[in-house]
Structure formats: C-alpha cells, structure tokens
Structure 1
Amino acid sequence: MLCRLCDSERLTSVLDLGATPPCEKFLAPDELDLPEPTYPLHLRLCTDCLLLQIPALITPAETFTEYAYFSSYSDSWVRHAQTFVAQAIERLDLTAQSFVVEVASNDGYLLRHAVAAGIPCLGVEPSVNVGDAARAAGVPTETTFLDEDSAAKIRAAHRPADLVVANNVYAHVPDLRGFTRSLRELMADDGWLSIEVHHALNLLRLGQFDTIYHEHFQYYTVHSAQRALATAGLSVIDVELLDTHGGSLRLWARPTALGATPTGRVADVLRLERDADLHQADGYTQLRPRTEAVRHDLLRFLLDQRAAGKRVVGYGAPGKGNTLLNYCGIRTDLLEYTVDRNPYKHGRFTPGTRIPIHAPDRIELDRPDVVLVLPWNLETEITAQLRHIASWGAELVYPLPALHRADLTSHNEVNSATHSGKTGRGAR
C-alpha cells in the first residue's frame, strides 16, 4: 500500500477493526442466505505526510451508484445546510448572476436553498436514486461521478463556479489528487471552494472509531488537508470548527495564485492539532485504547441489560452504526432490532450483523426498556424526538464518545453516568 497523497511506502498501523461488509449494503430478506463479502477495515497513517487512510478495497461505483443515504431525513442537517447557504450568500455576495456547484449533492438538501434564493446552481450526484429525488425537488442535478473529464465537461456546458461546495465527500474518493484537481477545474479563477469533512482531531481525541468505514478512504486534519489541496494549486484561507458529525472542519480554499492571506483561525486550528500531537506520528497511538474501551463498556452494558431481562432496541441505521455493530460483534441477542426514518431501509437488515430495520413507530408499539442510538452525533435532535419514551420508563442510551444515558426529564441536554460510572458527551 502506498500513500494516496504522497506515494510514500512509510505507512504505519493505527487501528485494525477486522473485516466488515460495506456499511451501506443493507440486506434484503432474500439475501440473508447468500454469501456476504467482507473487506479489511484497517486504518493507517502515512508517517511522511500524516494522512490517515484505509486501503481502497471497494470502488465508489460499488457504493454510490444506488445509495441508501438521503440527507433530507435529518432535520438538523437540512437546517445546517440552510444556514450555510444564507451565510455563503452574504460572505461571497452571491446573486442571480452567480453560479454554485455542489459535488455529491445527494437529494438536494443544500441546493434547494440556493434555488429558493434565486441563485443558479447545479448538483453533481453519482447515485441515481437520490439524484432523482433532487430533481423532483426542483434542484438541477447531473448524475455522474466527478473526475477530471466530467469536471471539464460541466465547466464547458455551464460556466466556472463562483462557489464549489463539497460537503462530506472529500473523504469518499480514493483518487485524492485527481479529485482535488477536478474541484479546481470547476472553480472560477477567483472562485471559492468550501469543504466540510470530519475532523481527525475528534476521531483521535474522542475515540470516534465508528466514523471509519470503507467509503471513507481518508481522514483529515487541517494540516493534511492543506497538503492535499496544494496538489491542485489551492490554499486554505479560512477554517471553521463545526458540531456536525461529531466535530467537523469547514475549509474555505481559493486558488493559490490569488495570494489571499489566511485568517487567524487557520493558525488557531493548526495549533490545536499540534497541541494534540497530531503533527507527529506518535500522537495517533491514542485511538486504539479509546476504541477498545468503547467496545468493552458497550458490551458490558448490553450483557447486563440482557441478564436483567430488559428489552433493548436501536434507533437509526447509519453507516457508522454498522462499523460499531460489527466491531463489537452485536447481534439480535443483544439488540433485537433497530428503526430508521428512511423508508429505503425498512424491511432490510444491517450488513454483517443481520439486525432487522423497521419504521420508527415500532418503538411506540413495542415499548422497549432501552433504546440505543446508533447515530450518536445527532444527540440533541434524536433526544427531542424520543423524549416521549420516558412515559413508559424507557432509557435512551448513546454509545459514544463514552456510554451515557440521555436526560429525558427536561429539554436541556444533560448526560448522566451509566452503570459503569463513566460520563460522556454526545455530538459536540
């Protein structure tokens, strides 16, 4: 394995999660007796450029031609996108004469707000099914994978973009340098690029190992993102720390030729990373013991619930949840089923662990004793949605960053200790 950023052979193991199926390959009932391919899930660090990465064992086409994830099913994520569009309009002075392109635009969760503001835009989305949903919502969308060829065609057919948005896609591309050049091709020479991506600082510091799965090929600090963007003549001009996905970066980049001066926030975040020892290889050894502690605490909790005769079900069927379930070896004896708001997943089963997925109203029907939330990064949103389970004495439990119960007695987010005596925080 060579580093996909700098071609170095000097890669060292950070965390080996064993072998798991692709996290979004939910099984239909007639697939349960068929073989299910698994692939190693082994995180490594390039000791030369400090890019965290896993081997590219599956292709984006295998994951994204038809995709089970629809962004609009998260209310908080849609609000996040709406706020971003409003802020970008003000920051960049976007008007009806501007042009915005979003790469991996999903079901139009973000660009619908640009359409509503009268700003010309285009989504670039490889998944046919979610692209259809975007077009049905009135968002112009091209169904294609972004590469250098398709970027040149889009630029020629439309025009260079004043703003290119790449939310939660920069980790999903094995050809990192080629994809970065493609982003630059879409941009006007005085344009802007906005990238949102999970911050490896939180992955390491808080043990967020379930964000590691096969469609995430690399994991960024600002330090490593600067190096990646520089390969296409782009410079990080500003950075924001976001609460989304357990702690993300919003990177604002522009063509290096413009000579724009970075804001002080870039230096501030680089300093945070340096203080966490993430600008040297030794700092990455902290992830393994934190990951093992999460698994041990969660399994101990679930075994205690089973011994007490309590009924435990899940909430959500996100990709990260499948990393958690497979790494911990959780099956239906410990988690009877899970529910999800996405109808695409109803009647299917989680990959590897074969846990059935139902509609959310199943919880109200069965009234279980414990609900384990798999998309823990949406703690505030989901706690509000499930506060009513306290009416029959149920508990709402989040597994990460440390196992904790949600306080269902008030509208404030208060976490109480679990049986193990440990406390933790959910999504930042």
Structure 2
Amino acid sequence: MLSVLDLGATPPCEKILSADELDLPEPTFPLHLRLCEDCLLLQIPALITPEDTFTEYAYYSSYSDSWVRHAKSFVEDAVRRLGLDADSFMVEVASNDGYLLQHAVAAGIPCLGIEPSVNVGAAAVERGVSTWTEFLDEDVARRVRTQYRPADLVVANNVYAHIPDLRGFTKSLRGLLADDGWLSIEVHHALNLVSLGQFDTIYHEHFQYYTLFSATYALAQAGLAVVDVELLPTHGGSIRVWARPVESAGAPTARVCEVLLMEEAAGLHRSDGYLQLRRRTEAIRHDLLAFLLRCRAQGKRVVGYGAPGKGNTLLNYCGIRSDLLEYTVDRNPYKHGHFTPGTRIPIHDPEMIAKDRPDVVLGLPWNLEPELTDQLSYIAEWGGQLVFPLPTLHVADLKSRSAALR
C-alpha cells in the first residue's frame, strides 16, 4: 500500500457533541489515505464500523434543496431511460430520509428503501416511502427478492464508499438485481479529489475513493460490468456509474472510454500520479489559515455555514477552533446546540447570522456554493463576505447573485 495523504488522527466526522460531552474524552482515529498499487483503489483502514456511524445518523439528505432537485431529476431520467412504470420495482440502498424514492412514489413506481439509520429511515416512512431498517448484505438481498422480486433498478447514491466489506456488499447489490436489471452508483470522483485537492472528502465513514477504473474493477468481482458513466457536478465532482450483470451488459458507451482516458491523462492509472494530492492539500490549509489569522488581526468576526462531515475534516486538519471560527450554523435542527467533533465549535440555527451580522461567513459545504450563495445573499446588506475554502480560497459574488434573484 502506498501512503498518499496522512491527515493525522481525528474523531468521527458525524459524531457531533452535546454540551454534556464536552468534558469527556473524545476518541480519535488515524485518517491516512493509501493506495492499493495493484487495483489502484484509494482507501483508508476500516477503523470504525458502519454500525458505529449509521445506526443513529445526523445527516438528512432533504435539508439540501439542490440535492433533492438532483434526486428528482435522476428519477425522471431513469423512468424515461429504462421505461419504468407501475410494473417495475426499484430499490435504493442507503435511502436516507426518502429524498429520492419520494419521487418514485409520486411517479407510481413500486419501490423500497434500505436504510440502516433508524432516525432518518423513520423520516422516509413519514414521506410514504417503504423502508427497511437494515444494513445491506447478501441475506437482506435474498429476503428482498423473496418478499418482493428482483429489482429492475438498484440505486446506490453516495454509499459505495462507505463499505468496509466491499466484495460482500457488491455481491449484495448483484443479489438485488434482476438478470437484466440496472445498477446506478453515484460516488465522488477521485479524479477531482486528487487533481483539485479535495482532501476534506476524506473521513472515517468513507473507506474508498473511486476512479472509474477502480470502480470497474470492484464491480467486476461480483459479475457486474460498467456500461455507461456520467460526470456530475455534485459533491465537487462525481461519477454516476451504470452497470449491469455481465450476461446482459453489452458493449460500454463511448463515455466510458472518454472518462478512462481523462483519468489516465491525469496520471491516475499509475500509482505515482496520486502523490500530487499532498502538495495541493497543504497549500489549501496554508491559504485558509493565513486568511483567518488576518481576519482575527483586523478584528473581524468570522462564523461558519454548515456542519457537514467534510467541514469537520477541514477544521480538524487545519486546527481551526472557536478563536478563528466563532461558531457555525446548520439547517438541520438535529445539530443545533451541539458542537463540532474535535474542534468543539458551537452549532446554531442559521437565523443567528442575521442576528449577529458577522463580517465573514465561511461556507464549509463548498460543494453547495450556488445554493449557499443564494441563501446567504442577504449578508451583502451589511457588507458581509461569503468565503469558500475550496477548490481555492475565494469570495463569492453576493451582489450579482442578489441582483439576479430580484
């Protein structure tokens, strides 16, 4: 295994703290990205089990308006592409709060969500989405086939990186599928991680980081062949991989070859190409810390927007505490009154920003820049700045955005 990037030891990124936990010890775990030089899969050691993270989970997909729109568009496109109707069956693995399958329900497509987190799964049921509270494995796949039937479409959005037993999970995906079915996987593209220095997408619940090359190799271990791929803007740059059982796959589209060539040109079909990530990561940290220290020296108040997992990687790696970032806010009320893991920065309701009128707001979920710029355009009224740390430190243009919204 080749060492690519060592981010030190950090707490689990979604283990936000209550006030009662602030005086208790907080466990940390190494966060060290390595590369398998045989299959070129980026990965971290599975030091935290999914049961530790996902049984009670702080992330609700529906709090991101743009992500719900993205899911709706996907369902509409899949219905057209695959000819789904009332006689079809669709399964989403890690279906969260029903953000995606609610659109399948609205379209009259029979569907099932498989979601391990009790709290967010309950939110899906309230939306009318049939949901099993389970971690997908081969036994669960067999029970779904028995109780329902093999799926025409299985969706696995932003879950394929969360699996310590990658081979077993991939076999479970195949077990859900009909022999002529379709599998759609969305995952952050390691091409963007490496070439743009998106180090904050590395955290303990993400065990793997995929190129199309490594995803193709992983899927093949369970008899699944990649037939198409789409490049998506989500999460700072993702790939949507379409795969089918090998017996019905057919030839891949030209887009598969095009993306593989892009990865090869970026140096990611050889191990030394991945070493560029460390240099880019260190530059981002130095620029952000220099900016925050200047703000402090000038007496400016700086607060954050969002308390995402990626933000906690960034805060811990950069060593940012409440002296540099007074507090952060989040739309998810589940997090209000709590504190970020490791850095222990208070998390408040977004209304706090309008009340306090800070000089600078640091957008931690930088991948949602257009959405956040719309939501925070009002801070321009008092001369506030909205700053994003990645892909390079920059100030959002709030005035033009505000004018466009009128």
Q: By the TM > 0.5 criterion, same fold? A: yes
- Paired position in structure 1 for 2:323: 333
State the Cα deviation string for residues 205-235 of structure 1 (Å, max 9, x = none).
0000000000000000000000000000000
State the Cα deviation string for residues 379-403 of structure 1 (Å, max 9, x = none).
0000010001000010000000100
Q: Structure 1: which 4+ aligned runs deviate by more than 4 Å?
A: none
SS in 2 for 1:49: coil
Cα offset, 1:411, TM superposition: 2.4
Give me the whole-angstrom Cα distance separating, in 2, the residues matched to 1:95 and 1:142: 22
Give me the whole-angstrom Cα distance separating, in 2, the residues matched to 1:32 and 1:237: 49
Unaligned runs of 5+ in 2: none
User: How many residue pairs were aligned?
Assistant: 404
Q: Give 1:11-410 correspondences, 5 Å limit.
A: 11-410=1-400
Cα offset, 1:150, TM superposition: 1.1
| Contact 2:377 2:402 (8 Å CA) reproduced | no
Give me the whole-angstrom Cα distance separating, in 1, the residues matched to 2:13 and 2:101: 26
Instruction: Give the partner amino acid of 2:159.
Output: V
Cα offset, 1:66, TM superposition: 0.4
Give me the whole-angstrom Cα distance separating, in 1, the residues matched to 2:191 and 2:12: 24
Unaligned runs of 5+ in 1: 1-10, 415-428
SS in 2 for 1:183: helix
Give me the whole-angstrom Cα distance separating, in 1, the residues matched to 2:249 and 2:175: 18
Give me the whole-angstrom Cα distance separating, in 1, the residues matched to 2:348 and 2:401: 27
State the Cα deviation string for residues 183-219 of structure 1 (Å, max 9, x = none).
0000000000000000000000000000000000000
| TM-score, normalised with respect to structure 2 | 0.99
Give me the whole-angstrom Cα distance separating, in 1, the residues matched to 2:330 and 2:168: 35
Q: Give 1:410-425 correspondences, 5 Å limit.
A: 410-411=400-401
SS in 1 for 2:399: coil
| Contact 2:243 2:249 (8 Å CA) reproduced | no
Higher share of residues assigned helix: 2
| TM-score, normalised with respect to structure 1 | 0.94
Percent of aligned pairs sharing the same letter: 75
Give me the whole-angstrom Cα distance separating, in 1, the residues matched to 2:403 and 2:66: 15
| Contact 1:407 1:413 (8 Å CA) reproduced | no
